[in-house]
Chain A
Amino acid sequence: MGSSFNIEGKVALVTGSAGGIGWTAAKVLAKNGAAVILNDIKSIEILESRKEELIKEYSCDSIALQYNVGDFDAVQSAYNEVFKKYKRLDILVNNAGTLEDNLVGMIRKQDIEHTFSTNTSGVIYNLQFAARLMQRNKSGSIINIASIVGRVGNEGQVVYGGSKAAVIGITLSAARELAPRNIRVNAIAPGFIDTDLIKPLSQEIYNQRLNSVKMKKIGKPEDVANAILFLASDLSSYITGQVLGVDGGMIM
């Protein structure tokens, strides 16, 4: 019986999918019938192992492409591989991201460059090549992972917040430009989600963040992955240029 989300036979690329939200999204998309292209900057061995896991668990098609999303030439080469293998792309999840926080006055140039390269330039690079492949079928869904910090800000997160606010701006403009080609572009702004990114937080900050969530619980990667599935599927076929908060009513 087919999935109600209607992504069977579609080809999806998830950046930063070796762990956390990206890996969970890859599994959810594979479970619902998509072929999944995995990407991460981490070792190819980890990615290959993830790929084997997907194939074994969901009997799906999958390939692993190790590249740095902030490296234009590497991204171009990766999309050539996607073209050679599948000739198409239906779903892009721009998930790869990095988090380097510092208070104003202590922000290093390399932190800004690295964060914006991964979180912002990487989104544009992947979006641009993905749109070209999607244009061939005059259909596609691009989902950019932003952050609640990019919407409302947070002290100590000038760099990360700026890079994620840019993701929202990219999403809004790309949605307008690509809508006539039936390519939808939306963003998800996760709140406090249980991933490796929050591991360095002190207990005090952890509690502070948790207390700001009205639902009084931390989000799971599955919560974000399910929103990704919705935006990837035809259930959202008339939705573009939106920022969907997945934050349990978090107020920062």
Chain B
Amino acid sequence: MNNTERLIKAFTESLEISHEVVNDELSYGSSSWDSIAHLALVASIETEFDIMLASDDVIDMSSFKKAKEILGKYGIKF
């Protein structure tokens, strides 16, 4: 499984959505991605990639595209 697939898995499992809707356009506020789900998503990403995100990054993670950019700061390439 490559990093994109791993990130999609974190999104689908935490937001309980189909992998088909996980794309760069998927953003906070759409689908089931609300404030409660956001922390579940963060936990899921942190567990999947074995990292702990900085608070600013948790707040800034507003889309799937942005999530990839942020993970780049932790050495995770897409």
- Measured CB to CB, the residues of A under 8 A from B are 72, 76, 79-80, 83, 87, 128-129, 131-133, 135-136, 180-181
Contact = CB atoms under 8 A, between A and B. Distances in A.
B43 A132 contact: yes
Interface stretch (B5-13, B24-32, B34-42, B61-69): B34-42
A80 B36 contact: no
Contacts of B58: 132
B46 interface: yes
B40 A135 contact: yes
A181 B40 CA distance: 9
Counting chain A CB atoms within 10 Å of each CB, the highest count among B36, B40, B43, B52 belongs to B52
Closest 6 CB pairs of A and B: A83-B52, A135-B43, A136-B43, A80-B52, A136-B47, A135-B39
A83 B74 CA distance: 15
Nearest to A87: B50
5 contacts: A76-B55, A83-B52, A132-B42, A132-B52, A133-B52
Nearest to A131: B39
Contacts of B36: 180
Most chain B CB within 10 A, of A87, A131, A132, A133, is at: A132
Contacts of B1: none
A4 to B, nearest CB: 31
Nearest to B52: A83
A181 B46 CA distance: 16
Contacts of B43: 132, 135-136
Nearest to B42: A132
Contacts of A133: 52
Nearest to A134: B43
A72 B52 CA distance: 15
Contacts of A136: 43, 46-47
Contacts of A83: 52
Contacts of A76: 54-55
